[in-house]
Structures are given as structure tokens and as C-alpha cells.
Structure 1
Amino acid sequence: MATEARPTALRTRIVLTIVALIGLVLPASIASAGPAPNHSAPKPTIVLVHGAWADASSWAPVTRRLQDKGYTVFAVSNPLRGLSGDAAYLAAFLQQRTTGPVILVGHSYGGAVITNAALSDPDVRALVYVNAFVPDQGESVLGLQGGGGDPSALFDFVQYPGAVAGDADLYIKQTVFPSAFAADLPSATRAQLAAAQRPVTLSALSEPSGVPAWKTLPSWYLLGTRDNILPPALQSTMAERAHSHIVRVPASHLSMLSRPETVTDLVITAARGR
């Protein structure tokens, strides 16, 4: 009986040893069976589109803050030559210079541009409007403004080579620019911006908008309540029509310069989809 017990005891010890080894090895085997879940999705690329009478440098304070947060940022040079052409330019930029998810941010007339360009790229995840025009199909920037008043009181008209009959570059009069465009910035800054403004064509502001991306993409809107160019009431109407998430801030038309922290926070909120 004692002789038969030894093999049985030995077999028992072997079985227990194997079970113990399986208990040690199995978790590692399960872990290696598939990739660990990715809890940190890649940050989307942020593409900033300036409006009329400004340039890409107007985004500099926002660009720096977004880069500090680890975002890849492009501040596009908007041609300001015509709405459909400017949208096509942005579409080509997106296709050739970005990969992965994209958040489009438009200021002023740039809002109309991103509205028309976003659907060209399936990687665009959201739209952010900053004191911006949000046209529906068939609407124009001038039409949304109502087209009232004497344009010669606000603009200097400059004929440019190759312009179609009746078209011209529009500059905001330097005497009007500081109070209308940048009332909450230092006086020296306002004067510099007025001197360096990039013109937009009259035809760009008059051209009807195409199919609006805001009907199928989520959007956020920063509304400057002290904007003397784009009336806050019109901003509110357009933002509400687009079902945008609205943030109101006591800022002039150039809120990305006077309130860059608020603009940056809104862009990050859109990037996170919240």
C-alpha cells in the first residue's frame, strides 16, 4: 500500500505544480493575445482660417497656446479673392497638409470659408466659429449684413488688375478701423493692424454660399458682445440656427487677439467633442 501511495502523491505534486505554473503564465498569455486598449486618442489637427482685413498672424496668441497644449496647428493664409475659390484653396490645403482628424476654426469671413470647405474632407470633425459668418446655402456675407448704409463711408475701394467689371479690393478706412474692428486693443496695436490689413474683394463678400457643413457637423461659436463689425444679434441668430454651442465674451471683432485664452479654451472643447 505504501508503494502505491508514492506514485499517487508524486502525481498529485506534479499536477499542483502545473496548475501553479498555469496560474502564473495565463495572465501574461491573455495580455499578449491582443493590444491594450488605447485610452488616449490622438489630438486632432487644428486649422485656423482668418477673415477679411486680417492675416494668419492674427491667430498667433491662440496658435501658441494650442501648441503649448500639444496640438498640431496650421494658420492658413486665406486668399480673400472669392468665396468658392477660397474654399477650394482650403480644401486643397486640408487634403495635402493634414492627416487624421481636423478641427476647422474660422474668424469673420473665414467662417463662411470653413462652412463651404469642410465637407470636402471626411476627416473634419467639428467647426469653430469666432465672431464669424455662418451662411446658409444661397446667402452671402453682405446679404447677411443687410447691405444697408453707404459703403464708401466704411471702405476704400481699390481697383486691382484683372478684376471683373464692378469688382474691387475693399479696405476698411484707417479712421474707422480702430473703433469698428479692434476697439478693445491698445491704440498702438489698432493703428498697426489698420495699416497692415489685407483686403477682400467685393465679389467675395457678395458671392452666394454653397451647401453648409454646419448642417451635418457639430459646431461651437464664440460670440463677441462688443463687436462693432458683425452685430452680436446677427452672430446669435446664425449660431442658434446652426445649433452651435455658444460662448459669449465681452470682446471686439478681433476676440482672438483680445481674448485668446477664451478662444483657445473653446477650440480645445471642440477638439475634445464636449
Structure 2
Amino acid sequence: MNASTSPLAGNKPTIVIVHGAWSDSAPFNAVDALLETEGFTVTHFANPLRALGADTDYLSAFLKSRTSGPVVLVGHSYGGAVIGGAALSHPEVKALVYLNAFVPEEGETILDLAGRAGPVDAAALFEKAPFPGDHNVDLYLTPGAFAGGFVNGLPEEIAAPLFAKQRPITYGALSEPARANQAWKTLPSWYVAGDEDHSIAIETQLWMAERAGSTLTRVSSGHLSMAAEPGTVAGVIIRAAA
């Protein structure tokens, strides 16, 4: 967890950011700085990326123990599914912000949504790393998939370190159905969609945002919109917190 507090933060919601797969909080550095300048407390949840239900429960516990007062939840990619499942467990969550994110309905999986625009070629996308004691595998992005679909559009000095530090997600997390009581059905939400996103098709992002009734912002960036367009992303979060 990484948290920063400014003298004005007590009057504003806490911004809890939930990263997705194959990354950590690093792509949010510029967004963090902009939010903190505006007086927000920014806290990052270390998403386990192990199982959708367990990750959701972990975020619920985190919100209860590590926040006080109003909260705005921000989820990137897989993190969108986690915030949608956890938000209603904490009555202080006032809004959701989805960044190039999956927004599942009950019973849908990440793989279901990823495949709406066409079949997912797992062999081309993933390098598998089985781990002992479980019938599951960690999935890493191949170099080609990472460069072409995850960090496309970013300068090399930002993109290269992210590949070396990518955090895997389990196959089980991507194939686990979302639970009932998804928060986007009752809480106000905002969605930032990347027109150049090669990880989640823009058509799928727009469909999910419309289904959720989210206030939509489109940016000319790839999957890591928070790194490519930090000013726009920070502005959306600030509006959600108003």
C-alpha cells in the first residue's frame, strides 16, 4: 500500500486505486501527484491477482480497515471487476471510476468479456507458469503481447521497466464468474476508454460503459490510459469525487 495525505485531504473522499493484471501501482505515479496536489488522499490496494472472489473479499477488508470517510474506488482493467464486486460491502464508497476496465455482470468472466470482440489467442498472449499445490497457472504476457497490447503508445523509458516488473494473474481469476450485487448497478460511475487499447477492444469498453450507465470519457491512448493521459484521468477522478 502507498498512501499520501495533504492538509486539505480531510475534506475530500479518499481515492483508493486498484491496479489490474501484469502491473502494479507504478503507472499511476503522475495521476497520484496530480490528485495529491488537489488535496486528495490517494491509497493503492495491492491487488493479489489470485482469484476474483478472494481478491474482492480482500479489497472489502482493506476498505474497512484502511479507510475512513467517503471513498472513490478506481479500477484499472481486471481491477474494475474487483471494485464492482467490493464497493457495496463498504457504505462509504460513493463512486466508481473504471479505467480501460472490465465491468462484469453477475456470472460473466473476464475471459467472456475479453472474447466479445473475437477469440482470445491464449498461446500468443500468455506464457504459463504452473505453481505447486494447485491445479492453476500464473499467466505472464509474452514480450510481443506486452509491447503491442499493454504498453503500446508509451515511450520506451516508461514501457521497458514495466515488462520486467509485470505481476502475473492466475488463469482461475480470469475464468471465475463475477458475483451478484455488482456496484455499478446502484452507484454512480465514470469510465475512461482508450481508443488505441489493444488489450480490451474499444467496442467492448464502450458497451460495458453504456451498460453500466457510466459517464464516458474517450482518450486517444492504449491500455495504460493513466500513464498516457494522466491529466485527463485525474480530472475524471476529481469529477467523480465532487
Tell me the TM-score range normalised by the shorter chain: over 0.9
Letter in 1 for 2:111: L
- Superposition TM-score, scaled by structure 1 size: 0.82
- Superposition TM-score, scaled by structure 2 size: 0.92
| Counterparts of 1:43 and 1:248, CA distance in 2 | 26
| Counterparts of 1:129 and 1:150, CA distance in 2 | 25
User: Which residue is equivalent to 2:119?
Assistant: 148
Instruction: Determine whether 1:161 maps to 2:139.
Output: no
Identity among equivalent pairs (%): 52
Answer yes or no: is the 8 Å Cα contact 2:99–2:225 preserved in 1: yes
Unmatched segments (≥5 aa) in structure 2: 1-9
User: Which residue is equivalent to 1:218?
Assistant: 188
Cα deviation, residue 125, structure 1: 0.2
SS where residue 39 of structure 2 aligns? coil
Cα deviation, residue 149, structure 1: 3.8
**Structure 2 counterparts to residues 1-274 of structure 1, below 5 A:** 42-146=11-115, 148-163=119-134, 165=135, 167-211=136-180, 212-272=182-242
- C-alpha distance after superposition, 1:211-248 (max 9, x if no partner): 21000100000010100000000000000000000000
| Counterparts of 1:162 and 1:59, CA distance in 2 | 34
RCO comparison, higher one (Cα < 8 Å, 6+): 2
In the TM superposition, structure 1's runs of 4+ consecutive aligned residues that sit over 2 Å from their partners are: none
| Counterparts of 2:75 and 2:153, CA distance in 1 | 20
Cα deviation, residue 193, structure 1: 1.1
SS where residue 179 of structure 1 aligns? helix
Answer yes or no: is the 8 Å Cα contact 1:222–1:247 preserved in 2: yes
Unmatched segments (≥5 aa) in structure 1: 1-40
Aligned length: 230
Higher gyration radius (CA): 1
| Counterparts of 2:151 and 2:86, CA distance in 1 | 27
SS where residue 175 of structure 1 aligns? helix
- C-alpha distance after superposition, 1:107-141 (max 9, x if no partner): 00000000000011000000000000000000010
More divergent stretch after superposition (56-65 vs 243-252): 56-65
SS where residue 105 of structure 1 aligns? strand
SS where residue 144 of structure 2 aligns? coil
Cα deviation, residue 187, structure 1: 2.1
